[in-house]
Structure 1
């Protein structure tokens, strides 16, 4: 997404909001607007994580971009520490939308048989990989080693298992096989690596940087090297289909605020880092160290493009390693409102194509 002044984006987006209603973007799977007049929601309950991979949400909340765009609709922001918990909250009507990683969204789509959610925008790309002890120099050296991932079946866990399989190594779900994969939360993995209890970890930022800077690990593989152009979805924005159908105007205004946050990152990167870190501190009680923050931001790309092709590939990887039954992802994206806003602002539209 090209960089443009915030004011131009806001004016263009506002014009679209005033002149158009929610329209489909070339897909029969787009939800209708209910057939009659729709109303804007009194409140939208939005989930996000206190993590640098959710920087657009952190900034959107702390700088007021989201609330400003929502107008009279109240923003009720809630934090989560794991994708499955956020999906559960979405499906139990505890939240209406959330920033989330790709694999939880895929699992939620499968669980709801394509009726529970829609992906409405990208947010973050890249920023994950495998950090190991200095003595490990090649994938073959991982045989017999213990490698952590954040959670069984999560985005990084699937990436590691698929990569191992592609390189002739197996890892079962019980921690056995050629490589012992041990799902554990990122903070635990950092401590375990520092103490020598594990040999490496495939993790997202900021732990990808922290394992190097704080624990003396080295990068065996930056995941971006596995993807075309180094881009793959790390975080995107989803909404419940029920809320989307009932309040399409509110969803579009949420997207308007999301684009303001992305624009702020592009045009005021240093200030964006400070704002994101301040919100992390407010939520968790501890900010990231300056060197970790800077390194993590360099490894991440913040973009409205959901990089749809990487989602379809990730789903295939999960199937290949036995963590996902075959699922038809047709219709998981609803990019019409986002593309209207991008087009009005003179920015490139994004695609939901699988390749």
Structure 2
């Protein structure tokens, strides 16, 4: 018999007792943050915030927060801290909200996180956990069967500078096709827009294709009659690359380490449940999407999209520098030194308390 949301919540609430162990290690890790703001934080501060403002997307690539927020795991873990959530369509918008002090933490793709780190000279944000690997594809109309067929085509991405936008531009450049961020000469026109608009225009024949995350790649295939020209996993060693990870404002991490520990506890607990309840988790994520958008994914789209994703605590840090290099090569951003972008000590404390192996920052931060 499938477990109910309330049963899952009760079970996870019991597991949250490990917070007392994990929080002590998190406090030590956060005290070691080498930033001006961290050095100013009063060592006697409680470490718990009155409110945590969390961003994420109504996309299947954000399954961990979709499921964990909807079934109460996050609220339970945070205890007396009020959880406030906001839904975004793409990473750059979430970064803008974070910089405007409208968010404390957000699930996001790699390139917007890189941009946030670079724009603040490495001060504003830290990546504290992985969430999803995989789940991005270039889907095209009939008649396009090779990269050369894309010359003169119009392709969509979710937003300029977002993860899929950078990946598409880099892949085209590697294949001798130019794109322009500023409207200059190009071989392929990139038209960033909201994913729902992309689906509508693709159906109408007004777009030749799009590089999108799930479930939108599957929607273009199943609902729009498109064909996969490239699955992004083919470009990465072992098919493993970061699609979604969790970032936090550095100041918030330093000031409220216990709240961050509780956030990570909910994140890990939800990931454990997903791993143990694969198909039920797919349906739970779909129900959460419906609750946020009033639209539920069809079973064909859901199952196709879910099979292309892997929920993970590992931020796949080794792929991040490559993403940053791609952004610089395509003119989306300047070259950036990512040293210090990861702060994985709090996550590894939670993982250790729950009997899991640690994850690596690949030399780009603290573990």
The normalised TM-score by structure 2 is: 0.90
User: Corresponding residue for 2:307?
Assistant: 298
State the superposition RMSD in angstroms. 2.2
| 1:36 counterpart = 2:35 | no
Instruction: Give 5+ residue unaligned stretches, structure 1.
Output: 1-5
- In structure 2, relative to structure 1, the CA distance for the partners of 1:268 and 1:168 (3 Å cut) is same
| Cα distance in 2 between the residues matched to 1:228 and 1:281 | 34
Write out aligned runs for 1:8-47 (5 A): 10=15, 13-17=18-22, 19-24=24-29, 29=34, 31=38, 34=41, 36-39=43-46, 40-47=48-55
User: Corresponding residue for 1:3?
Assistant: none
Deviation at 1:179, TM superposition (A): 1.6
Write out aligned runs for 1:32-111 (5 A): 34=41, 36-39=43-46, 40-111=48-119
| Cα distance in 1 between the residues matched to 2:108 and 2:215 | 16
Report if the CA contact (8 A) 1:12-1:344 is conserved: no
The normalised TM-score by structure 1 is: 0.93
User: Corresponding residue for 1:308?
Assistant: 317
Deviation at 1:122, TM superposition (A): 0.5
User: Corresponding residue for 1:350?
Assistant: 359
- In structure 2, relative to structure 1, the CA distance for the partners of 1:248 and 1:32 (3 Å cut) is farther
Report if the CA contact (8 A) 2:23-2:258 is conserved: no
Deviation at 1:21, TM superposition (A): 4.6
| Cα distance in 1 between the residues matched to 2:84 and 2:293 | 18
| 1:234 counterpart = 2:243 | yes
Write out aligned runs for 1:311-326 (5 A): 311-326=320-335
| Cα distance in 2 between the residues matched to 1:278 and 1:196 | 30
Write out aligned runs for 1:1-355 (5 A): 10=15, 13-17=18-22, 19-24=24-29, 29=34, 31=38, 34=41, 36-39=43-46, 40-173=48-181, 174=183, 176-353=185-362
| Cα distance in 2 between the residues matched to 1:11 and 1:45 | 20
CA offsets, 1:67-98, max 9 Å, x none? 11112212112222222221122122212111
Instruction: Give 5+ residue unaligned stretches, structure 2.
Output: 1-10
| Cα distance in 2 between the residues matched to 1:19 and 1:105 | 27
| Cα distance in 2 between the residues matched to 1:334 and 1:18 | 15
| Cα distance in 2 between the residues matched to 1:75 and 1:109 | 25
